[in-house]
Amino acid sequence: MRHRLSIVMITYNSERYLKESLGSALFADEVLILDAGSQDNTLEIARALGAKVYQEPWRGFGRQKQRAVELARNDWVFVLDSDEIITEELKREILGVLQNPECDGYLVPRLNYFFGKPVKRCGLYPDYSLRLFNKKSGRFTEDPVHERVVINGKIGKLKNHMLHYAYESVEEFIEKQNRYSTLGAKPSKFKAIISPFWTFFRLYFLKLGFLEGWRGFLISALYSQYTFWKYAKDRSNGENTHS
């Protein structure tokens, strides 16, 4: 008999892709969102699709996701972001794995969309992230950004990817990465000078970003800018910055 599954999501003004994202999650035994005070149509969309909705103050990415996991009624959870889509192939693989899990947590690949097109170079694929796990064996770190799941047990990998609508425009990329670099600031004037050049070289040349055309150049340049910001900025606890 298959283990029951909860798919959980944190939201804040997340209406853009939410209908498609939650729609891809409806195969789960429970779909739950933890919202941090949305003022758009996020809650209406979620409730219309039958998701269980909670609202609590923002704690930072790691703590907020852990709280969503704790609210889930099932031990097995899949943590989905509001701009991610579970494909039919991944859905079938998840349901198959839950028949008899051999691991305590599973890394899931992502296919990232940048400026309207999927990108597999620049080090952006398969972009594994631990999303499917037994909450008795794993929990999120408390990092305000770039949080991750720590598993006390065996970790496996799923084969089929989910889709991630990362950035539709340069403006969106700059705005979000500016925010993330503030949350994850690691002040170092030396690294602020050296690391951006290495980031561009690694993504554009070593990770074959040049084969992605203008997108590859733009992605490499923007991530090198993010690297500069991260090392040039002062630290921030990020507690009041929403997703």
pLDDT average per 10 residues of sequence, the chain (243 residues): 97 97 98 98 98 97 97 98 98 98 98 96 97 98 90 98 96 91 89 96 98 97 95 70 57
| End-of-domain residue from the set 166, 197, 219 | 166
Domain that includes residue 117, residue range: 5-166
- Residues 18-54 as b/e (b if ≥16 CB within 10 A, e otherwise) read beebbebbeebebbbbbbbebeeebbebbeebebbbe
> If phi over 0 gives left and psi between -120 and 50 gives alpha, with beta otherwise, what is residue 169?
beta
- Do 132 and 173 fall into the same domain? no
- Domain membership of residue 79 (yes or no) is yes
- Do 144 and 64 fall into the same domain? yes
- Do 157 and 75 fall into the same domain? yes
- Do 149 and 195 fall into the same domain? no
| End-of-domain residue from the set 166, 183, 209 | 166
Indicate yes or no: pTM above 0.85: yes
